[in-house]
């Protein structure tokens, strides 16, 4: 069972690391952690990221996050095209 508070805390740690940190190091750490996890968990992780992107596509934006919202919109469009926008990636 997911502890929502623990998940929020974990995401906050990642966001805090980006504040004044190196986004390439954060990306590398995420990639290493995900790619060395169980294959089903890898799929679940990216499905969760996809779900967040789909929701973020409708986020309010200004110049500071405009490109991020545009990327999320492009991801949403591609997910819709491939029928991945309702349930995320398949779980095996």
The count of other CB atoms within 10 Å of the CB of residue 65 is 13
Pair 53, 10 in one domain: no
Mean pLDDT, each 10-residue run in order, the chain (92 residues): 86 94 95 97 95 96 97 96 87 80
Task: Give the predicted TM-score (pTM) of the model.
Answer: 0.87
Q: Are 85 and 51 in contact (CB under 8 A)?
A: no
Q: Are residues 17 and 2 in the same domain?
A: yes
For residue 44, what pLDDT is reported? 94
8 Å CB contact between 42 and 35: yes
| 86 and 60 in a common domain | yes
Claim to verify: residue 32 and residue 74 sit in the same structural domain:
no
Range of the domain at 11: 1-36
Number of domains present in the structure of the chain: 2
Q: What is the pLDDT of residue 78?
A: 95
């Amino acid at each position: 069972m997911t502890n929502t508070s623990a998940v929020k805390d974990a995401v906050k740690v990642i966001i805090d690391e980006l504040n004044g940190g190196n986004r390439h190091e954060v990306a590398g750490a995420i990639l290493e952690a995900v790619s060395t996890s169980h294959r089903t968990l890898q799929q679940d992780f990216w499905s969760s990221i996809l779900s967040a992107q789909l929701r973020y596509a409708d986020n309010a934006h200004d110049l500071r996050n405009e490109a991020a919202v545009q990327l999320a919109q492009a991801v949403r469009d591609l997910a819709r095209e491939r029928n991945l926008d309702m349930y995320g990636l398949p779980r095996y």
